Amino acid sequence: MNEPSSAFEAARRDGKRLMRLARTGALATLDDGKPLTTLVGVASDWDGSPLFLMSDLARHTKLLALDARVSLLLTSEGGRGDPLNQPRVTLNGVVRRREGRDGRVRYVQRNPKAKLYVDFADFSLRRLDVESVHFNGGFGRADLLTPADLLTPGDASALEAAEPELLDRVAALGDATLAKLAGQDGGRRVWRPVGLDAEGLDLQAGSEVARVDFDAPAFDPSAWQTALERLTG
């Protein structure tokens, strides 16, 4: 059996990070067979699948009731140089309602301004069930990836229950340690943990986001804590 190439592993890593770090995306729905692209807020479910908080009044939500097939483009935020030389990923699939309070919590933690309307009667949480992937890492890097390459299957119920305590422990590490985890050692931004999953931790400082990736998934809370401690020394 052939081992994955370094280029493939880099593409998979970049694709996973885009799905975890994205806070907005370009969502294409079908309007009488014609594509309509709108800007939507995004978060990530436990397995990495995109989550949306949508108003029933929005045009794209009404179109989803007629045809739930979509295409979602997630791009790298900021950075210098040509935007077309930055990683991006297009996810195709079907959007369905996402039940459970934990999904709304995940969305609001990553998009705090959504607190203003998350409980409005006309808003509901949706999830993109990814069926195909088109990844482009920049010039000359259009790697072939599948949903299985980017998603993290497994039972995350134990992490869901332990998340508030684990995030409190992360916050207690202090500003300097969190800045190092975010790759911003010496900066002035104050980073805070905004969510976790089996493969790592999400950090945020204002509009800036950062990701802490583990070497292997950790679905048990104690194993998750150990994985983080390895990175913090």
Between 84 and 67, residue with greater pLDDT: 67
Burial letters 159-195, b for 16+ CB under 10 A, else e: bbebbeebbeebeeeeeebbbbbbebeeeebebbbbb
CB distance 41 to 24 below 8 Å: yes
Binned at pLDDT 50, 70 and 90, residue 211 comes out as: very high
Over residues 98-154, the pLDDT tens digits come to 999 999 999 999 999 999 999 999 999 999 999 999 999 887 677 789 999 999 999
Task: Write down the pLDDT at residue 186.
Answer: 64
pLDDT > 70 fraction of the chain, expressed in percent and rounded: 95
Tens of pLDDT along 177-198?
999 999 987 667 899 999 999 9
Which sign does the torsion angle of CA 12, 128, 88, 20 carry?
Answer: negative
Higher pLDDT, 82 or 66: 66
Tokens of 119: 């409980």
Does residue 136 come out as left (phi exceeding 0), alpha (psi in the -120 to 50 range) or beta?
beta
The SS3 assignment for 177 reads helix
pLDDT at residue 109 in the model: 96
CA nearest to 45, candidates 116, 123, 128, 149:
128
Q: 226 — phi, psi (to 5°)?
A: -65, -40
Superfamily of the domain at 6-150: Electron Transport, Fmn-binding Protein; Chain A (2.30.110.10)
Identify the pLDDT of residue 137: 84
The ranges assigned to domains in the chain are: 6-150, 157-232
Cβ atoms of residues 104 and 118 within 8 Å: yes
Q: What is the pLDDT of residue 7?
A: 85
CATH 3.40.50.300 fits 157-232, yes or no: no
Residue 6: partners with Cβ closer than 8 Å, 6 or more residues away: none
The helix (run of H) or strand (run of E) holding residue 107 is: helix 101-110
Q: Please state whether the predicted TM-score (pTM) of the whole model is above 0.85.
A: yes
Span 140-154, pLDDT tens digits: 677 789 999 999 999
